[in-house]
Amino acid sequence: MAGPRASVAAHEVLAVIFQVRQQRLSVLLWRRARPPYEGAWVLPGGRLGATEGLDESIRRQLAQKVDVRDLTHLEQLETRGDPERHPADRTLATSYLGLVPADTDPATPEDTAWHPAPDPPPMGFDHAAIMRAGRRRLRAKLSYTNIGFALAPREFTMSELSGYYRAALGHDVAATNLRRVLLRRGQIEETGESVPSGRSGGRPAALFRFRARELEITDAFAVLRPPSRE
């Protein structure tokens, strides 16, 4: 006689939301309120509605945890169907990668908090693996697309931008090299404005912006690929 896992699989949508906060890449997690994994930190999301598409569902789910207007980028990440990924029911999961720019501070409910992506708390289900897949996707796309626009404010100095890249990539990125690469690829441009020098004096720092605020493939070569590691 077939067990409960022979029934029709449920489908959930999950989101890996990253933001650079206090010079580190952070991920948005919420504390689960019911079994299984009651009290554990998990990715925001939930069951796909009977009449919903995937994109519609994840935006509805995220609206309960963070103002979706703060998201500058959202893309489908992967689908997982391991029969054992949920201890109670056969549940497929389609995950999304979302990015919030560093100059915003989205309001979140009490059960939701930002955690360091390189060193997250113990997570329920397979959500830690999904989060790591989101980090890999972000690091890869920083190498050949203009996705940095989704991490940065609309205007920034190169020192600030290199800090966002450093947090996302997990290794040092020199501002002068980043400026050269991104200008060559046509990703950024000078605004014509600058930030006044500080108390120590020195030359005012030029302000830059991304030329496009939508995802574009700008170079097939992964010049900024991080070292091979998780």
DSSP code string of 106-144: ----TTEEEEETTSPPPBSTTHHHHHHHHHHHHHHHHHH
Q: How do residues 47-91 score in pLDDT, each as one tens digit? A: 999 999 999 999 999 998 888 888 999 999 999 999 989 888 899
Distance CA 72, CA 150 (A): 5
- Across-strand partners of 13? 46, 94
Of 38-47, 169-178, 194-203, the one with minimum mean pLDDT is 194-203
Q: Nearest-5° angle of CA 173, CA 174, CA 175? A: 115
With a cut of 90, say whether residue 220 has pLDDT above it: no
With a cut of 80, say whether residue 188 has pLDDT above it: yes
Residue type present at position 188: I
Please name which of 150, 169, 162 lies closest in space to residue 225, comparing C-alpha atoms: 169
- Average pLDDT in the 10-24 region? 97
Of 37-41, 137-141, 196-200, the one with minimum mean pLDDT is 196-200
Encoded tokens for 130: 């999904």
Q: How confident is the model at residue 226 (pLDDT cuts 50, 70, 90)?
A: low
Distance CA 109, CA 31 (A): 11
Please name which of 21, 26, 24, 31 lies closest in space to residue 112, comparing C-alpha atoms: 31
pLDDT at position 203, please? Answer: 81
SS3 65: coil
SS3 204: coil
pLDDT at position 1, please? Answer: 42
Q: Are 47 and 127 in contact (CB under 8 A)?
A: no
pLDDT at position 2, please? Answer: 45
Q: Which residues contact 90 (CB under 8 A, 6 or more apart)?
A: 4, 5, 7, 9, 10, 83
* CATH top-level class of 4-142: alpha beta
Of 11-20, 83-92, 133-142, the one with minimum mean pLDDT is 83-92
pLDDT at position 196, please? Answer: 83
- Give the architecture-level CATH label for domain 143-210: Orthogonal Bundle (1.10)
Q: How do residues 85-108 score in pLDDT, each as one tens digit? A: 988 889 999 999 999 999 999 999
DSSP state of 145: B
CATH 1.10.10.10 maps onto the chain at 143-210
- Asked if the peptide bond before residue 120 counts as cis, ω within 30 degrees of 0, the response is no
Distance CA 114, CA 22 (A): 11
Q: How confident is the model at residue 150 (pLDDT cuts 50, 70, 90)?
A: very high
pLDDT at position 198, please? Answer: 61
What's the predicted TM-score (pTM) here?
0.90
Please name which of 47, 30, 18, 10 lies closest in space to residue 137, comparing C-alpha atoms: 18
CATH 3.90.79.10 maps onto the chain at 4-142
What average pLDDT is seen over the chain?
91
